[in-house]
A = this chain, B = another copy of it.
Amino acid sequence: MTRTSTLTPTADNAADTTRVAVSTVIFTLRRTSGAETPTVALPLVRRTRDPHEGQWALPGGWLDASEGLDAAASRTLGETTGLAPSYLEQLYAFGAVDRSPTRVISIVYWALIRPDEVPDESVENVQWFDAASLPRLAFDHNEIVDYALWRLRNKVGYSRIAHGLLADEFTLAELREVYESILQRRLDPANFRRQVENSGTLIPTDRFRTGSHRPARLYRYNQDVELADRGPLGGRH
């Protein structure tokens, strides 16, 4: 009871057998042909080696000794999928003993990317899946995605992360569609408009989206307002 922490190597520490990986759950919205509302989708990488060869897994890789965790998440995501997210935040550290044959601690991030930033030609071994209907993934990655979805749905209620899924200018209907897709329920257009207008986070522009019926005013996000309050850790992305 009196042993003190030393933060220096000791015989019983896990340095030689435990490795640190970084993975990212990155969401976008996808308009499935013919469907009225877009659905939440994410890219997965087919594993080319054991363990779980052939199964789909979250994009990620090993932490490099010379990079921070955020940087590792960005790098491994880019290397595996070619994507560079508009929003990136740490999700959770997963470290159950039996989650992999060898001991692996996974620092998992979650991210958002705008549909227009997703390349049309898919990268080798990468495929996009609807979050609602995933296959059995490698390791504990199903559990991880579930948790990331829960965080996404929670956070959309009290922050402005929806921005991360939209282009710079958008109509209120487009913004509402993002919320409806994530929350999986319809929102009253009139009330949605007032809520978001009174929040002070939107700036109306002079431009309109035309093409169908009455033109809709385009809005921009107020850059002065942070996407999400992350407390003392700040908003570094």
Chain A residues with a Cβ under 8 A of chain B: 1-10, 12-21, 23, 45-51, 57, 59-69, 72, 76, 78-80, 82, 90, 92-97, 100, 102-105, 107, 123-125, 139, 143, 146-147, 150-151, 154, 231-233
Contact = CB atoms under 8 A, between A and B. Distances in A.
Nearest to A144: B232
Q: How many subunits of this chain does the assembly comprise?
A: 2
Interface SS, A side: loop
Contacts of A143: 232
A12 B49 contact: no
B80 A5 contact: yes
Nearest to A100: B7
A212 to B, nearest CB: 38
B69 A93 contact: yes
A84 to B, nearest CB: 11
A104 to B, nearest CB: 7
Given A1-B123, A80-B5, A90-B92, A12 B64 contact: yes
A14 B63 CA distance: 6
